[in-house]
A and B are shown apart, each in its own frame.
Chain A
């Protein structure tokens, strides 16, 4: 390693020597940039051509630049305008008029450790700027890219306030998030489980809260998604699943601009499952008994030799005629307000620029009692110490507080229980106490859903600081050195209390859990950049650097039970017993060397080569280091002579890239065998935790990408087509072990998954006049993740430890394939369901095609935006439907006089389509009390979950006063989010994952996930 460093060092010294030529004499140029209408253009970039000397215009459009050399040329560019090049002879003041342009070629795109013009990009990078989402507020930044970027599938596993979104880049989940250069911890860090089995063990993942939600979306200037290996490989180690670069807003040179943005709105459940009312519930039961009686009359032994048929004919007991008709979904759902308020200021001078913001976001849950609140502050500052040295900081602090509903996604949750509850059961007894669910008709319940929602309190507080300081030094002409030190500090405190009256804690008179998570990550990055143009046509950009990163985190929690009844106390010191207190410390480190060379010949032929050499503490010495090289090339055909004059095809670029990136995401301390703390008879001891694997090393992801970018009529129509083939080899997998090993599995590099796909995106501005603009963006992607090889084939897997296997990993099949018995329909003569004898592959969770279409209209001061999102060919294993399609089945529930007291659960109205008489053709079997006419582990509950969603419709009006003295602009708007979803899916939402969706191999399970909201809101954007 030291050799490598030494070489870097020598090389740097040589570079320093080469460029130590004296600077020529300088002169100062001042100017103003305006658009065709005469309005000033702030934030435009002014550069001396062939140098790195530059300035940007302030809010009044003014700039000052120091030029040197004979016959300098300046390049003025700004997003949305055509770039202008002006030769300077002896002017000292200048007015530049920029023409508007739809072309995006000059947009600056953030890439790993730098920026690049869009026109010179050779990898697959999708960029989405503030202008694309600023008028459509969202709670979580990932929503801003939902449906808008080809190849990126953003799904919403849960509607829980503050919940995480699942981002998948070209079929690989959980990309690396880099916020202003800080690689961010993005997983859910709450130790609070919201998903338990009936015996109290944690089961499945429950709902996540997202630590990405700590980033205030209003602070974001742009997001870039590095999709192919060549673009992402500069992040080597953690780039395997793509990289999302998030850049927050910066200060601007000029008068300080204040901005006040606020919205307020209401949320409701977007789709409800229609349930039987009391009459329907009783009618279903009577039919179930009648059907069974018919069976019995045909064959008196059908239900066993000693079956007493009186159970089929005895009148239903009085409890079935309470006259109550509770709609349980209405009881646990509510109309919930949502509010957001942001105030920010940006401004500065030539020397110092700043952006500060404060934000408060408050979202109530559509399930009663839930909420998410976030307060955040940001401070971005940049100061030019001298011509050569710039220092600055980007930092933010976030406080978040959530209350989550207990146990959604699994058996005993609020939503889950509401789904099965009997409509004949009231919420409260006449005396105001909660109705006792065990006295009513449905045995599915584990508690009164309203009681669970109110009496189980689960709060999570989190504190997050993300900050970096940096210095940028122009060592010599064209050579820049940037060093930064960043930290990501996170503290999460969980506080869960089960009141002694809940069924979960009645036996232990209340129980509580307090959890804490503390993590500190620091990163040091040192980057040298050389930018040089030789002979006007050879443009070279070299980058080299060293980075080091380390992370340490501690997770601990304390569980206690037995709280003084009636005292209302829930602090741990009032508990009678502390049950357990796990506490663990984890840590990892990463050291990296990186380099990149970009070469362009006349902006026509583009070549980029990069490499990163990464060492990770997660692998054994000898296997720690991995080299991740990448190359890409581009050919701007439209610059060739035969196309240069074309007024139609104004840009055509072919791109090609190939690269290798790595993955180390296996958790800490896997390569060694460790013994974990355990205890027996009050004595501490140690017990094996894992079986180590010294051979563990980097997962290798190669990706081949070919793309075409085109622009017609200077950007009136533009688009890209990308085709890629990725190969993920040496997968870091949990390879199953034989039982004899004493372990379920171990971490191993094994298996191979091929991701391939085609992405197509198109942007158009069909109409653009002075008054009216229509801009439209469409994208569609086809992505397939196929298993090429596995450590062991046909692995059956399940997201839950106490259900059954729901998925299979099989060579030749897609990741996320469902497994079970095939439902062969309903026998038209008997009304009974039919199933295959053998279990088989039943479908898959991933879509064939997905994408979105958004349209933006502007007429004078009015604006209208409509964004849609679609997904075709994905399926959902609607496990919870087995509860609400039980068709009158009871597995017990008869009292000693053979009266039917309880059945399994209430049913959805879909059972009204059930088979009733011989000859009926339907896919809903007959009702039956005695036999279960459904099978959970079958395709009976695997549904087509293709959908088209109208994601956002926003309508606004902007006032711009003639004189900017009072204020600069005011926009008022109304917006509907998640307005309507077209789908055949029967559950709450087709875009769902009860397992949190963290693992693509067990994706697509719906166990009554928290439904999504439809939101209507009003807001203002006020700049002054």
Chain B
């Protein structure tokens, strides 16, 4: 009867093996979301993750600013004749464009991360009050920046009366929820609310100043930009002035050092930039330069011939050196490449989100010709090697506006400004052409899921 015993033993044995043990398997290389926000360290980890989310390929890792540029008169696209990329340079994007969808999801991903922090930060015991305020302030800033970037790309941001704002998401609950688009005014209200919240939390800046983190100045600088978009010139210039007033941390480098902005990190020209490293690379170099003898097919986002013509008319503008039309393959000609993102070996080019020069240009524009805006404009011009504009050269507001637009183009090309400036000043039609839509379509996926609740932009 030995066999009975063995069999019985075996059956008893297997019945004691707990099924639970097999079935309760957790990831060892990731952390359960519920556990992230239980400790101070977890909150800090999430904060780093929030910065990292801004670095995604489709957002400030490269695609967002470069695609906007390629759609404007500053840029063009190369690549392997891919229709979704070609349609950027041809300015006839369709709603199922893969790049557009990628951008939209990536930006909301940053919002999700910020929302998660805002929802949980106060619940964690034992966080130092200053640190808590800092982290919350950073999260509000990131959310505002993301909302604003969405609005610039997908909403009629130039028209406060327009119903075509963005879908505002301020919670992480219910991912499947379909959210109707807010009006442009409501979207701006949300953005400004978030920035005001951030401002009121009195972020304590790092000593010495580190532009790779959100600072009290980054918040003010973004407020200045947002108010400029809403045409609240008084506030725009006030906030720009607050930033400019910090002459310790922010200094214009001057034409002889100008290239340092793009070749070294953390210069005094930067108010907020995302720092990349060779272990955490950005896509700017691969997208815009690739390697010295790259063909057109190797480079996705090119500098247009139009930008070359533009710089040819600007005597002594040092910034013309940042565009290369000579040392490019014949397949790229007559287009060229931007040189703001060189460093083929390290590929750790920063994302330049807020710079001091823009503050001067915001203030110049906000003050206007009558308010003495020319001073700030000329300050930038002279710093970049050019002669000042004489008052006689800008007889009227239109001429001044053109001078501002040109200066912004010269300064901020390939730093996600041109397309939005054209839309903001309603010059898309005259510059890019009559049939060009100033904004991108809402991704088809959202329209389909939105089932009538999410409205497509006019013209798509």
Q: Which chain A residues have a beta carbon within 8 Å of chain B's beta carbons?
A: 1-2, 5-6, 8-9, 12-13, 16, 198-201, 388, 411, 436, 438, 443-446, 473, 475, 481, 483, 503, 506-509, 526, 546, 548-550, 561-562, 577-580, 583-591, 615-617, 621, 624, 668-669, 672-689, 691-692, 736-744, 746, 792-796, 798, 801-805, 839, 882-883, 891-896, 901-902, 904, 932, 935-937
Answer yes or no: B129 CB below 8 A from chain A CBs: no
Instruction: Determine if B394 is an interface residue (Cβ-Cβ < 8 Å).
Output: no
Evaluate contact between B23 and A688: CB separation under 8 angstroms. Answer: no
Contact A475 B108 (CB under 8 A): no
B176 contact set on A, CB distance < 8 A: 737-738, 741
Contact A548 B116 (CB under 8 A): no
Question: By the criterion CB–CB under 8 Å, are A891 and B46 in contact?
Answer: no
Q: What 0/1 readout, one digit per residue, does chain B (279-290) give for beta carbons within 8 Å of chain A?
A: 111010011001
Name the distance in Å between B11's Cβ and chain A's nearest Cβ: 5
Q: Knowing that A473-B7, A740-B169, A882-B81 touch, tell me 14 more A-B residue pairs with CB under 8 angstroms.
A: A1-B19, A2-B15, A446-B297, A585-B27, A617-B25, A680-B275, A738-B179, A738-B450, A739-B105, A740-B108, A740-B111, A741-B175, A794-B448, A893-B333
Residue from B7, B15, B33, B300 in contact with A672 in the complex, judged by beta carbons closer than 8 Å = B33
CB B29 to nearest CB in A, in angstroms, measures 4
Given the complex of chains A and B, what is the CA–CA distance between A411 and B85 in angstroms?
Answer: 14
25 residue pairs of the A-B complex, CB under 8 angstroms, read A5-B14, A6-B15, A8-B15, A12-B11, A443-B296, A446-B298, A473-B7, A475-B7, A548-B19, A669-B30, A672-B27, A675-B45, A675-B49, A681-B275, A685-B48, A688-B113, A689-B30, A736-B449, A738-B178, A742-B111, A792-B449, A796-B96, A796-B444, A802-B79, A901-B331
Nearest Cβ on chain B to A680's Cβ, whole angstroms: 4
Tell whether B177 is near chain A: CB-to-CB under 8 Å: yes
**A12: B residues at CB distance < 8 A:** 7, 11
Interface string of B245-288 (1 = CB under 8 A from A): 00000000000000000000000000000010111110100110
Give min CB distance, B247 to chain A, whole Å: 25
A198 touches B80 (CB 8 A): yes
A199 to B286, CA, bound (A): 5
Query: Which residues of chain B are near A473, meaning CB under 8 Å?
Result: 3, 6-7
User: Contact partner of A481 among B7, B28, B275, B283, CB < 8 A?
Assistant: B7
Which of A199, A503, A617 gathers the greatest number of chain B CB atoms within 10 Å? A199
Work out how many contacts link A and B, with CB atoms closer than 8 A. 328
State whether A892 touches B27 (Cβ < 8 A). Answer: no
Asked if B51 is an interface residue, CB under 8 A from chain A, the answer is yes
User: Do A742 and B22 contact each other (CB < 8 Å), given the known contacts A685-B49, A936-B82?
Assistant: no
Interface residues of B (CB under 8 A from A): 3-4, 6-8, 10-12, 14-15, 17, 19, 21-34, 36, 42, 44-53, 55, 57, 62, 79-85, 96-99, 101-102, 104-105, 107-113, 116, 167, 169, 175-179, 212-213, 275, 277-281, 283, 286-287, 290-293, 295-300, 329-335, 344-346, 443-446, 448-450, 454
B104 nearest CB across to chain A (Å): 4
Among all A-B residue pairs, the 10 with the closest Cβ atoms: A685-B48, A199-B286, A742-B112, A687-B49, A589-B22, A507-B344, A741-B175, A678-B52, A673-B33, A443-B331
Could you tell me the distance between the alpha carbons of A199 and B82 in the complex, rounded to whole angstroms? Answer: 14
B44 nearest in chain A by CB position: A685
CB within 8 Å for A9 and B52 given contacts A198-B290, A585-B29, A674-B33: no
> Would you call B51 and A8 a contact (CB within 8 A)?
no
CB-CB nearest in chain A for B53: A687
B contact residues around A9 at 8 Å (CB): 11-12, 15
User: B7 near A16 (CB under 8 angstroms)?
Assistant: yes
- Return chain A residues, CB-CB under 8 Å to B108: 739-742
Contact A198 B297 (CB under 8 A): yes
The CA-CA distance from A937 to B83 in the complex, in Å, is 7
Q: Find out whether the CB atom of A679 lies under 8 angstroms from the CB atom of B280.
A: yes
Counting chain B CB atoms within 10 Å of each CB, the highest count among A678, A796, A904 belongs to: A678
Q: Are B443 and A739 in contact (CB under 8 A)?
A: yes
Chain A residues with CB below 8 A from B23, complex form: 589-591, 615-617, 621, 624
Take A5-B15, A739-B104, A895-B330 as given contacts and tell me if A680 and B10 are in contact as well, using a CB distance cutoff of 8 Å: no
With a 10 A CB-CB cut-off, give which of B19, B48, B110 has the most chain A CB atoms: B19
Which residues of the partner chain B approach A201 to less than 8 Å between Cβ atoms? 57, 283
Closest to B146 in A: A742
With both beta carbons as reference points, the residue of chain B lying nearest to A474 in the complex is identified as: B3
- Determine if B52 and A685 form an interchain contact, defined as CB atoms under 8 angstroms apart: yes
Set B49, B85, B104, B333: member contacting A686, Cβ < 8 A = B49
Known: A674-B27, A680-B275. A902 touches B330 (CB 8 A): yes
